[in-house]
Structure 1
Amino acid sequence: PVQPVQPVQPVQPVLPAQPAQPVQHQVQPGGLSLLPVSRIAPLADMANLAPVSRNVVFGLAHNTLPANLAIFLNSFRKHNREASIVFWLNAPLHQRTREVLTRFGADALIYDAAKDFPASWGSYHPSTTRWPLFKAYLDRHGSLVDNVLMIDTRDSAFQDDPFRYLGAPQGAPLWVYEEDTIISKNGWNEGWIRDCFGQQVTTSLGKNTVICSGVSIGGIVAVQRYLEEMTKVMATEWFHKCERNGVDQGVHNVIIHRRDVQGEFLRIADQRSGWIAHLQSNFYHVGGPDDAPVVTNNEGEKFAIVHQFDRNEKLALAYSKLYVYWNIEEDGYCDAFETRQDLDLFFKQCDMGKTGEITAYTCCASCAVRPGCKGWTFANGCWLKNCDYDPQSARPKSHAGAVSGYLKQQ
């Protein structure tokens, strides 16, 4: 088993963070300001993509569909037109993705993992590689930045400008947000920590609440301290033994709960009264009309960020209608697939995993951009498949409303 980086003492209970209060937001004279000009460049040109605002949004959008980027960017620009947005995306870039980035003034650094990433990263999952990429950008441009939002791009939307809640430039702490369970009662998080840090660390942190790594926001000093700790663990000689999708959240919980990021630079907030919603937790309410829903916390206050919106079908459908400005079926992702209605063609066969897609088309598109995916079934979720459809050996199951797809014969 992998040994801990250092001995860890039992952590004292976390004091609840004081609620952040929105700071005054100045309206530009003469109405809305112009959006920043989008710049799209290879990863090697990162030095030439300095931020144009002192508030910066970071996101890694590996295999992210244009529609998801539109929900993210369109909802954000509704509340903030000035902040710099920097995405890291894998090549090749879909033409619609380029259009969305340009329309909403987002920068993009395009990478080819096999060519651009260090050999030591091996086959690391994108959820891991994002942290050293974020750190490298701030190592180069940090003097031009006051505040940073680090966020999942595929399943996040905005109801307010999150930078309004941070207060003093540069001096803001790092805000992180709890989920609704403790580490010892969540098999995924407990497993990530145990496999990377050993049983002693896992036991000592077991009574602490799980903290989601999908959204963190703070002043530049606090963010850089956090990224230093995250990447320090990822650079150890043993990390590759435990690395996999999601394990970055295990690292995130360890460095937060054992205070590798010093207390004065850190605030841990809960779901009941905070301003960032993780919909995997149940402490939220959806109100308002179906075509313009509003997500609030238990205090009746509107969340600034809605993360994991695809966990709520009503929200996901509403956001698609509100923020996606084209017919997504025009994007051509599914042209390579044959489809069958009311059938599960791959019943209990060759599952790659389940995604949060809410339509058969987006399920199909997710398969199209996923390496190794050869088929899919949309039935009570989107099930991606890694085997070819063989009519001779298949065991199709009738399922009203289901849609299945498989690659056309070349």
Structure 2
Amino acid sequence: MKFATKLIHSGQTIDPRTGALGMPIYQTSTFRQQSVDNFGKYDYARSDNPSREALEEAVAELEGGTRGFAFASGMAAISSTLLIFSPGDHLVVCDDVYGGAYRVLTGIFARLGITSTFVDATSLEAIEGAIRPETKGIYLETPSNPLLKVTDLAAVARLARARNIITLVDNTFMTPYLQRPLELGCDIVLHSGTKFMNGHSDVICGFAVVKDADLGQRIRFIQNGFGAILGPQDSFLTMRGLKTLKIRMDQSQQSAMAIVEWLSRQEQVTRIHYPGCPEHPGHAVHMTQADGPGAVFSFELDSFETTRRLLEGARYSAFAVSLGGVESILSYPARMSHAAVPPEERLRKGITDTLVRLSVGLEDPDDLIADLAAAFDRRS
């Protein structure tokens, strides 16, 4: 099947009991059993629920995996998956990792004895140089949030596999439509499904997907034991949103490229971070492992005054946390996604007070450009 067909027909798309075109919301916490000796497939909804199961199967198939797991948030997916590691284990992590992941790695897992070294993951040599005897995992984002740095996933996967190290990749920006890390040799794919996968800014959810059965069993044990699962109604809504992923991404990506081209000609813009730009240092690598540059980019402005004017003055691009919705969203990483990172560390990573991130939605790109132009020119 082509990807557009997979979106409609992956997982349990027909209710086996009624023939309904779509799994219903099984809004129940428990299931009646018929025999003391033989329990049915479902017993308690933390362990399994038909609505969640249908979504998990669909996401696993889209990523080219064998098992998928749906969690109550992207951070629940990340944190639960990181519990496969044990005290004394060490992780190598991309330097400008999402602020929530940085917070949980440095504030919680470090306290539990699982340590991390943050490196420039665009350099295979930097990753290799950070590996220790106790290194058990390499945690990546590509393109990264918010600087859109690109890591060569196939090269890192080969490096890791030769050393029996697990490779984890946050694929939120790209989605399985544009990039499938498991096919490049990585072991675990993570998503904030809140973003493009659901796509309507009305559900908080997260996913982990694996290809290896044993690794799947380890995450399954943690999902059931830790219990940070996605509820049936949110599973239903996310399944509904997932079906339009391709057409949403196609439109948003096309608009993003038009807006980037316009921004490149504006005097207030000093730098653009977008792997679709030929001058982006990771452009060539990205285009060998992904099917497009995506709909999210960041850019730097000439002053804090211009930055404030844009964030507070834009009408069609909401000044808000998050990304990947049908509406365009302007975010301010220094005080939003990366607020948990200490100021000096943010500056070292290149996350300045004039950096803005734009997730392009489904509005007409001409209207978005006109709105940005008006915000640049508006004076208080």
TM-score by length of 1: 0.23
TM-score by length of 2: 0.24
Q: Which has the larger strand fraction?
A: 1
